[in-house]
Amino acid sequence: MSEPIAIDELTTYLACPRQYEYRYRLEIARDPAIQARERALAAVRDAITAGLTHSGTVEDRIDEALSRLAEEAIDDKAVNVDCREAIRSYLDQYADSHGTGVYASDEIATLGLGGHEIDCPIDAIVSIDDQPVVLQYQFDVDDVAFDGARNTISKHTGGNMYIPGPAGSVLRAVATMEALATGDRFATDGAPAGKSPVGFAYVGLTQTVRPSVPEAGDASEIEIIPEIRRLDAAYEAERDAALSVLDNLITWLSAQAYDPGDRFADIRKTVCGDCSYTGMCSPYINAEVRFE
Ligand code: SF4
List the residue whose alpha carbon is closest to atom 3 of ligand 1: 284
Whether the CB-CB separation of 125 and 103 falls below 8 Å is answered with yes
Whether 291 has a pLDDT exceeding 60, the answer reads no
Mean local confidence (pLDDT), 250-268: 93
Note the pLDDT of residue 217.
Answer: 63
Ligand 1 atom 1: the closest Cα is on which residue?
A: 278
Phi, psi of 156 (to 5 degrees): -70, -45
Nearest-10 Cα torsion for 42, 45, 46, 48: 160
Based on C-alpha coordinates, what's the Rg of the chain? 20
In angstroms, rounded to a whole number, what is the distance separating the alpha carbons of residues 172 and 169?
5
CB 12 near ligand 1, within 6 Å: no
Q: What are phi and psi of 80, to 5 degrees?
A: 60, 30
DSSP state, residue 139? S
Counts for the chain of helices (H) and strands (E), in that order:
11, 6
Q: Is the pLDDT of residue 7 over 60?
A: yes
What is the 8-class DSSP label of residue 24? I
Query: Is the CB of 14 within 6 Å of ligand 1?
Result: no
Give backbone dihedrals phi and psi of 225, rounded to 5 degrees, phi first: -120, 120
What pTM does this model have? Answer: 0.93
Q: Does an H or E element contain 20, and which?
A: helix 17-20
Report angle CA 203, 206, 210 to the nearest 5 degrees. Answer: 140
Q: What is the pLDDT of residues 12-67, one digit of tens each?
A: 999 999 999 999 999 999 999 999 999 999 999 999 999 999 989 999 999 999 99
Q: What angle do CA 89, 109, 271 make, to 5 degrees?
A: 65
Domain boundaries, the chain: 5-212+219-280
What do you get for the CA distance between the two ends of the chain, in Å? 48
**Distance of alpha carbon 203 from alpha carbon 90, whole angstroms:** 9
Backbone phi, psi, residue 81, to 5°: -135, 135
Tell me the pLDDT band of 1, cut-offs 50, 70 and 90.
low
Ligand 1 center from residue 158 Cα (angstroms)? 21
Q: What is the Å distance from ligand 1's center to 152 Cα?
A: 22
135 pLDDT higher than 60: yes
Answer left, alpha or beta for residue 91, where phi above 0 means left and psi between -120 and 50 means alpha: alpha
The answer, yes or no, to whether any atom of ligand 1 lies below 6 A from the CB of 16, is yes
Is the distance from the beta carbon of residue 67 to the nearest atom of ligand 1 less than 6 Å? no
Q: Probe ligand 1: pick from 277, 290, 291, max atoms within 8 Å of CB?
A: 277
**CA–CA separation, 166 and 97 (whole Å):** 26
**Which class is domain 5-212+219-280?**
alpha beta
Ligand 1 in reach of 271 Cβ (< 6 A): yes
